[in-house]
Structure 1
Amino acid sequence: MNHKRNMFQKEYFWHGLVTIGGCFMIVLTLAIGIFLVYKGSASFTTYDHKITEFLFSSKWNPADNSTGGGNIGAAIYIFGSISTCALALLIATPFSIAAAIFMTEIAPKVGMHVFQPAVEIFVGIPSVVYGWIGLTVLVPAIKNIFHLTYGFSVLAAGIVLAVMIFPTITSVTADAIRSVPIQFRQASYGLGATRWQMIRTVVLPSAKSGIYTGIILGLARAFGEALAVAMVIGKTRAFPKNILSSTNNLTASIASDMGGAMEGGEYNSALWSMALLLFLISLLFIFIIHFISSKEEKKLNGKN
C-alpha cells in the first residue's frame, strides 16, 4: 500500500514539475513578445513613424534623442537579411538533403556512427568561430578569386550561414527519412524499383513534411544569426548590386548599434522595432511548421 502511495506521489510530483516547466516557457515567451511589442512599437506610437516607412524606405537616420525627427527606413537591412538567408538556403539545402540520404539510405552504418556525429559537431561550434574563419579565410579568398577591392559581401555571408544551418537541415531531414516505414521501401523494391527510384519516388515524398520543417528551422536560425554575419557582410548601408557587393542586415545592425543608442530615444526605439520584426518572422516560421505538420497529419488520418 505504501509502495503504491509513493508511486502515485512521485507520479504527481513529476507531472506537476513538467506542467510548471511548460507553463513557465509559455509565460516567458508571452513576456518576451509583450516586451518587444512595447519597446518596438514606440517608433510608431511615440515618434509617429509609419510602418510603411520602416519596411519600405531606405532612409535610415534616426535621431539619437528623445524628440525624434529622423528617418527609420530599414529596407536595406531587411533586404540584406532576406538576400543572405535566401542564398544560404540555396547553398545548404541540396547538400543537406544529399547528406541525409547518404546517412540513412546509402550507408546507414557509416552515417550513424561516423557522419552523423561529425555533422552534430558543427552544432556545438560557437558562431564567432564561423565568423572568424570566414573573415580570415573566406573573405580574402573571395577578394582574390573575383579581383575585388574587398571580399566582404553577400556571398561571404551566405556561405558562412550555409555552413551554420547545414547541421540543422541535415539532422531533421535524416530523422524524417528514417521515420518512413520500412514497408514502403519493401513495396517499392517488390515492384522492381531501383534504390534511387525508391528514394526519389517513395522516401523523399513521404518525408517531405519533415524536410520542409528542417529547411524552415534552418532559415529561422539564419535570420537570427548576428555575430558571424556581421564579421563578413561588410556592414555597408546600401542595397547590394549583386552577391559580391557588401550590405548590412537586421541582426548585425542591432548587435553593433544597440549598445551606443540612448535609452528611450528614437534610435533605440528603431532598433527595438527591428528586434520586434525578427520576433514576428520567427513566429511566422513556427506557424508555417505547425501548418505543414497539421496538414500532413490530416492527410495521414484521411488515408487511415
Structure 2
Amino acid sequence: MGAPVHNLSTRVQKNYKEGFASAKRHSKHMFSNKLFRYYFLFSILALCFVLGLVIVFIGKTALLLFAHISPADFFLSFNWTPEEDSFGAAAFIINTLSLTALSLLIAVPISVGMAVLCAEIAPKWMKNFIRPVLDLLVGIPSIVYGYLGLTVLLPFLRRASGEGLGDGLLAAALVLALMVLPTICRISDDAIVAVPRKYRDAAYALGSTRLQVIMRVVLPAASRGIISAVILGMTRAIGETMAVVMVIGNTAQLAKSLFSPTSVLTSNIVMQISNVEFDSTWNYALHMMAFLLLIISFVMILIIRILGRKRGGEA
C-alpha cells in the first residue's frame, strides 16, 4: 500500500512542478509581450509627437507671412527681392515643378526598362549584378552626385551648348534623374516580380510573344506598384537640396531655357536661410516654402498609401 501512495505523491509533485514552471513561462511571456506593446506604443507616440512639432513649428511660422503680405503676392508674383520686401515665390514653384517633371521624364523610361530587364529578360547572373549595383546607388549621399555634376556634367554641358557655365535646369534634371533612377527601378522591379506566374502562363498559352506578355499583361498588372515607385521618386526629386544647389546656378528667376541659371524652392531656402533674422518677413517666406514642400511630401505619401491598399485589395 505504501508504494502506490508514494508514486501518487511523486506524480502530484511532478505535475505541480510542471504546472508551476508552465505558469512561470506564461507569466514571463505575458510580461515580455506587455513590455514590447508599451515600447511600440511609446515609439509611435514619440514619432507622432516629433512629426507634430515639425508641422506646428513650420506651419505656425509660415502662416505669419500672410500678416505682412497677401497670399496672392506670395503665390502669384514672380518678383523675389527681399531687400525691397517683395516675396513672390511663383518662379520657384514653377521651377520646382519643371525640374521634377524633366527629371522624371528622363528617369522613368530608363528605370522601368531596367526593371523589366531585371525581372523578365536578364539571365540570373546579370540580375545578381544589376540589383546590388542599384542598391549601392540608392545609398550614395546626394552631395556626391552633386560633386560629380559640378566637376563632370557642367563642363560637358558648357562645351556642348556653348552657353554660360553649363548650370541650369538641364544639369539639375540630369543629376536628379540619376539619383531617383535606382529607387524607381528597384521598386518597379519588385512590383513586376510580384505579378503572379499564372498571368504569364495564361498569356503564353494563348500564343502571346514575350513582348506582348510584358506590355499587355505584366506591366498593366504591376502598374500600381510602378506608379508608387514614380511618386516616391518624385517626392525625392522635389525635396532634394544639396545636389541641386551645386548645379542649378541659384539665381532667383524663372528658367527661360534649360541652360539659364535658376533656383527652386529647396535651393532658395538653403542659400538664404542663414542670412535672415528669425522674426522677419523674409524668414516667414522661407518657412512658407518649406511648408509647401512638407505638404507636397504628405500628399505624395498619401497617394502611395492609397495605391498600396487598392493593390492589396485587388490581390
Q: What TM-score, normalized by structure 1, do the two folds share?
A: 0.92
Equivalent residue for 1:165?
A: 180
1:233 Cα offset (Å): 0.5
Check 1:14–1:112 CA distance in 2 against 1; reply closer, same or farther (3 A cut). Answer: farther
Q: Deviations over 1:9-41 (max 9, x none)?
A: 222222322232223222222221111111111
Structure 1 CA distance for aligned equivalents of residues 73 and 294 of structure 2: 19
The amino acid across from 1:3 in the alignment is R
- Structure 2 unaligned blocks of 5 or more: 1-21
**Structure 1: tracts of 5 or more residues without a match:** 64-68
Q: Distance in 1 between matches of 2:30 and 2:195?
A: 37
Equivalent position of 1:66 in the other structure: none
Q: Please report the TM-score for the alignment, with normalisation by the length of structure 2.
A: 0.89
Give, in whole Å, the separation in 1 of the partners of 2:85 and 2:274.
Answer: 19
Matched, 1:58 2:73: no
Check if 1:39 corresponds to 2:61.
yes
Deviations 1:182-225 (A, max 9, x none): 11111111111111111111111011111000000000000111
2:226 is the alignment partner of 1:206: no
The one of 290, 295, 301 equivalent to 1:275 is 290
C-alpha distance in 1 between matches for 2:136 and 2:107: 17
The separation in 2 between residues aligned to 1:180 and 1:23, in whole angstroms, is 36
What secondary structure is seen at the aligned counterpart in 2 of 1:100?
A: helix
Cα deviation for residue 111 of structure 1 reads 4.9
RMSD: 1.6
Alpha carbons of structure 1 residues 148 and 188: separation in structure 2 relative to 1, 3 Å: same
Counterpart of 1:117 in structure 2 is 132
- Cα 1:190–1:23 shift into 2, 3 Å: farther
More deviation, 85-94/98-107: 98-107
Do structure 1's residue 107 and structure 2's residue 127 form an aligned pair? no
Q: Distance in 1 between matches of 2:100 and 2:178?
A: 12
Which residue does the alignment assign to 1:223? 238
**Which one of 47, 50, 54 corresponds to residue 28 of structure 1?**
50
Identity %: 36
Equivalenced residue count is 293
1:130 to 133, 145, 154: 145
Q: Could you report, residue by residue, the CA deviation over 1:211-264 in whole angstroms, capped at 9, with x for unpaired residues?
A: 000000000000111111011101122211222222100100111110111111
Residue 104 of structure 2 corresponds to: 89
Rounded Cα–Cα distance in structure 2 between residues aligned with 1:201 and 1:223? 31
Match of 2:274 among 259, 275, 279: 259
Greater radius of gyration (CA): 2
SS in 2 for 1:41: helix
Residue identity in the other structure for 2:77: S
The answer to whether the 8 A contact 1:62-1:270 is kept is no
**1:150 maps to 2:165:** yes
Letter in 2 for 1:53: D
> Is the Cα–Cα contact under 8 Å of residues 104 and 111 in structure 1 kept in the other structure?
no
| Aligned equivalents of 1:136, 1:85: Cα separation in 2 | 22
1:279 deviates by 0.6
Residue pair 1:80, 1:239 contacting (<8 A) in 2 also: yes
Q: CA deviation at 1:108?
A: 5.6
Match of 2:212 in 1: 197
Q: Secondary structure at the match of 2:148?
A: helix
Aligned-partner Cα distance in 2 for 1:18–1:192: 52
AA aligned to 1:92 is A
Change over 3 Å in CA distance of 1:111–1:284 after alignment to 2? farther
Please report how far the alpha carbon of residue 139 of structure 1 lies from its aligned counterpart in structure 2 after TM superposition: 0.7
